[in-house]
Amino acid sequence: APADLRIAALECLGPRRGQLEPAAFELLVGHLADSADPLLRVAAARTIGGHRPSNEQLLALGPHVANAGPLIVPLLAPAFSHSSDPKVGQILVDALKESPGTDALSGDELRKLLSRYSPEVQATAQPLLEKLAAREHQQELYLTQLVNRTLGTPGNPERGRQVFFSQKVGCAGCHRLEGKGGNVGPDLSLIGRIRDPRALLEAVVFPSSTIVPEYRSYTIAGKD
């Protein structure tokens, strides 16, 4: 079967099976590489995060977390939440210290992720927690300044539409607007009715802070 169909099947079975068989784990990890199709990479990361890999598998997953970006880290992270093995906890902390995607996690999310691990492991994450706290504080200050500057400026819906559908920005690759665009992320046609201006501005300026890992899409393949 094609890789996308196999990954989709594993994702559906995740909540029931829990554990990942070696062959399934290898399939998923093989699609975490930068050379993999972006949509398959997201699906593979989400599937791993929805299972309960063994400690041995989690140790092997560490280097992939270290190389993962802000879209992938929040999807992989839940896989580590079921272990309490100190080696697993330490490799996770070390990987997050290197990863370019760690900023996609909040301090609270990281604390919850490490809550099952020993105080010694949690202590090694303290510099990382302090870094995340400082980043969140700076983002909040910047966002407040930006809101104060922009909310009094008249909007331009037509210019916004051009930016949304432009190849350079690529919003339409994942999201839909007025019936046009991709189906990977939520339809944004009515987003202005359910999100306040500050939240919308934050989503544009700091997109990784508003990623929703729970947003899932499924493809159902019928049999002839």
Hey, what are 181's tokens?
């665009």
Cα angle for residues 188, 193, 194 (degrees, 5° grid): 80
> 77-115 pLDDT, tens per residue?
999 999 999 999 999 999 999 999 998 898 999 999 999
CA distances from 45 to 8, 67, 105, 106 (A): 11, 13, 15, 19
pLDDT of 212 higher than 90:
no
Non-local (6+) Cβ contacts of 24 within 8 A are: 10
What pTM, to 2 d.p., does this model score? 0.70
> 39-66 pLDDT, tens per residue?
889 899 999 999 999 999 999 999 999 9
